[in-house]
Structure 1
Amino acid sequence: MTGLGIPVTDDHIHIDRENGRGTEAAKDFFRAGGTHMFLVTKPSWSHAVHPVTGDEFRDVYEITLKTAAAIRETGVVVFPIFGVHPAEIGRLTERMPLAEAEAVMKRGLDIAAEYVEEKKAVALKSGRPHYPVNAEVWEASNRILAHALALAHDTGCALQIHAETGPCADVAEMAAKAGIPVKRVIKHFGTPDTPLMPSLLARSEDIPSCAQSGLTFTMESDYMDDTSRPGAVIGPKSVPRYTRKYLEEGSFTEDDAWKIHAETPAEVYGVEITLS
């Protein structure tokens, strides 16, 4: 391990032992100086799961739990995040009516919330399509997102959202209606202008100015671990490597790094992030 003497946390990463490099990617993260990761479930079809009921998402969650256990053997601290990718609605409506697809996704989120309640996952994942869809699909997706926010409130956990590029200011209003603090709604692949908690891609040119201005944010790679798309979105070493770069060039201080990688995610997710 090439340690930086501070925790280094990837707020959104996928590790796939079926279709990607699996634990070898986690080892790369660790050797580069990474210490903690929030392991996010991949879409169901990534694991050859094609649900027709929400309960079948349990198969995806169990696969992710086994992956988390394998990653921990490398020395990385893993926090699983379970949920239903918003793009599932497109796949589901190929084989069932929209109303049924909405019910399946909501049930999948119900199952994910059970894992949070059992302390097997630390947060939920939901969102809405980041690509153009018709009004009916958009409205259904927002109802699914509202359901996820309600579940996050009821279970007392954070919610990561995958959504369109931009601030998603209306989601802050949805969070307020659900009674969940907006700081516990994380905008994955976020931008500094969001009222939600931004998780910024590690290579983002905004990071130095965001740190210097005191903006509260986390860092992510959104590494997909798919051999058909190697290095997408950026590689597993990215968060520790960019953190080292920003520290060495003085773009942010060690105090900034502690805030980004330990204090903020610990507060947002209700977990402990320390160096062992």
Structure 2
Amino acid sequence: MKPPAIPITDDHIHIDPVNGRGIEAAKDFRRSGGTHIFLVSKPSWSLSVEPSTGEDYREVFEATLRVAEMVRETGLVVYPVLGVHPAEIGRLTARMSLEAAAGVMTAGLDLAARYVEGGQAVALKSGRPHYEVAPEVLAASNAVLFHALELGADCGCAVQLHAESGPCTDVVEMARRAGIPVEKVVKHFATPDTPLMPSFIARHEEIPALARSGRRFTMESDYMDENSRPGAVIGPKSVPRFTRRYFEEGLITEEDAWRIHQETPSRTYGVDIALP
């Protein structure tokens, strides 16, 4: 069965020309049938940045935007997602107090929001540690996350959430208090039990059944693009290849594929995804 002509969107991918394959990874995605990517900023330490203020994240964000321009030259449509990785709190508290660390992270998110307001990015990235931390660290991380949700509400943009595996049900109430629609809170590396907008790793075994049920979700590779971890989490060809496999095996329909790769991300992020 020949795959239909549809956009293929990777909802969470990193491209790193310094520490990884860079543009060659983006070309792999395109050669495999990919058309659109949400390019997510990497943690500050990946770029050897040690922030002491929110302004220090500018170097990270500017690097992400430069990569976006490079990737666009391959013919892909690129939507930058900028923010502060929740694991930064552990590195920051090695150099400053927990209160100061949370302040640096919220200021970094404020800066990211200005890029969204200026049209240079389409969404924010935030979350909380996906591993066990002390209660006071979790509380501070949730405060940072809540601030990101408030910024998303103010900017009218989506927030990608990097957090523990599982439903993250409590974030629904956080979103309500922040004033952001829950469908604009994207659970990166999602599990089907989340009430947030799920972004599933392309190989997730529940994708065909969820698609047939009409569930709205997106697909991602979470490709790290680090030479030290080649192919992690899954490679840049994965979203196009798994989509094609699901379709060829009759596990999803053309309508399902359009909903996954065009309708849902367009609605979630307020962009207009179309075939190039």
Cα RMSD (Å) = 1.0
**1:109 matched to 2:109:** yes
1:10 maps onto 2:10 in alignment:
yes
Q: Structure 1 unaligned segments of length 5 or more: list them.
A: none
1:48-127 superposed matches below 5 A: 48-127=48-127
Q: Which runs of 4+ in 1 moved over 2 A?
A: none
Q: 1:176 corresponds to which residue?
A: 176
The equivalent residue for 2:140 is 140
Cα distance in structure 1, aligned partners of 2:275 and 2:135: 47
Residue 251 of structure 2 is matched in structure 1 by 251
C-alpha separation between the residues in 2 aligned to 1:3 and 1:22? 27
Q: CA deviation at 1:81?
A: 0.2
Match of residue 212 from structure 1:
212
Distance 1:240 1:205 in 2: 16
Tell me the distance in 2 between the aligned counterparts of 1:54 and 1:269: 24
Aligned AA (1:169)? T
Counting matched residue pairs gives: 275
The residue identity in structure 1 corresponding to 2:174 is M
Are residues 1:20 and 2:20 paired? yes
- Do residues 158 (structure 1) and 171 (structure 2) align? no
Alpha-carbon contact 2:3-2:244 (below 8 Å) kept: no
Distance in 1 (alpha carbons) for counterparts of 2:229 and 2:53: 29
Residue 35 of structure 1 is matched in structure 2 by 35
1:265 alignment counterpart: 265
Deviation of 1:3 (Å):
8.0
The amino acid across from 2:251 in the alignment is S
CA distance, structure 2, for counterparts of residue 205 and residue 240 of structure 1: 16
Question: What stretches of structure 2 of length at least 5 have no aligned partner?
Answer: none
Instruction: Tell me, yes or no, if the aligned pair for 1:160 and 1:187 is still in contact at 8 Å.
Output: yes
Q: Contact 1:3 / 1:32 at 8 angstroms: preserved in 2?
A: no
Name the CA distance, whole Å, in 2 between partners of 1:58 and 1:114.
Answer: 11
Q: Match for 1:167: what amino acid?
A: P
- String of CA shifts for 1:66-103, please: whole Å, max 9, x gaps: 00000000111000000000000000001111110000
TM-score by length of 2: 0.99
How far off is 1:176 after superposition? 0.7
Three-state SS of the structure 2 residue aligned to 1:7 is: coil
Q: CA deviation at 1:179?
A: 1.0
Pairwise CA distance, 1:165: 0.3
- Taking structure 1 as the reference length, the TM-score comes to 0.99
**Counterpart residue type for residue 96 of structure 1:** M
Corresponding letter in the other structure for 1:252:
I
> Which residue in the other structure is 2:191 paired with?
191
State whether residues 3 and 247 of structure 2, in contact with CA within 8 Å, keep that contact through their aligned partners in structure 1.
no
Q: What is the one-letter code of the residue matched to 2:178?
A: A
SS for the counterpart of 2:111 is helix
Distance in 2, matches of 1:263 and 1:97, equals: 44
Q: Which amino acid counterpart does residue 119 of structure 1 have in structure 2?
A: G
How far residue 4 of structure 1 moved from its aligned partner, in angstroms, is: 4.8
CA contact (8 A) 1:200 1:218 kept: yes
State the AA in 2 paired with 1:155.
C
TM-superposition CA deviations, 1:151-180 (whole Å, max 9, x none): 000011000000000000000110011111
CA distances 1:172-196 after superposition (whole Å, capped 9, x unpaired): 1100111111000000000111000
Q: Provide the C-alpha distance between the structure 2 equivalents of 1:222 and 1:172, rounded to a whole number of angstroms.
A: 23
Contact 1:3 1:33 in 2 (8 A): no
- CA distances 1:22-59 after superposition (whole Å, capped 9, x unpaired): 00000000000000000000000000111011110010
Cα distance in 2, alignment partners of residues 28 and 34 from structure 1: 9
Cα distance in 1 between the residues matched to 2:259 and 2:216: 8
CA–CA distance in structure 2, aligned partners of residues 217 and 191 of structure 1: 11
